[in-house]
Structure 1
């Protein structure tokens, strides 16, 4: 069995909380197909920042940091992709 120190447990707890906080937003966007109130610039910057956190986590070999940010990157990337789709479809019309 893998031993986990108490500080890592705090990291895993934080990772679970912050990552799970994106699930309701993703669910709402998928269900409603509405990204109008979401800031494109904010999500571009945020997704890039989360990507950088993933890179940092790999460099420092911090598993909670890597896991949380990888999942957050996927969830926020989905929202960004839907926002970009909606934005480009408005430009085409």
Structure 2
């Protein structure tokens, strides 16, 4: 595979995994219902995504940076709503 093809593959994978959070964010914003969301899982996930973002920046890996920056915003939103609404 060419480097461009590898980057494209990474961007497609990043897009799919990142947009998978959108329904949860929208539902949580709409209903404010966070009872079934695990605070521990989201705390670990947000921390992990933040570290992946740092890794991507340090390695200058565009798909990792883009995906994790967006995922951090989306999952961070759910995490903050969970902390706010319990």
TM-score, length-scaled by structure 2: 0.95
Instruction: Select the structure of larger CA radius of gyration.
Output: 1
- 1:23 equivalent in alignment to 2:25: no
Specify every segment of 5 or more residues in structure 1 that has no aligned partner in the other structure, as ranges. 88-93
Name the structure, 1 or 2, with higher relative contact order (CA <8 Å, separation 6+). Answer: 2
Normalised to the residue count of structure 1, the TM-score between the two structures is: 0.88
Q: CA RMSD in A?
A: 0.9
Question: 2:52 maps to what in 1?
Answer: 53
Q: Could you say what secondary structure the match of 1:37 adopts?
A: coil
Give the C-alpha shift of residue 86 in structure 1. 1.5
Query: Gaps (5+ residues) in structure 2?
Result: none
> 1:70 matched to which residue of 2?
69
- Which runs of 4 or more aligned residues in structure 1 lie more than 3 Å from their structure 2 counterparts after TM superposition? none
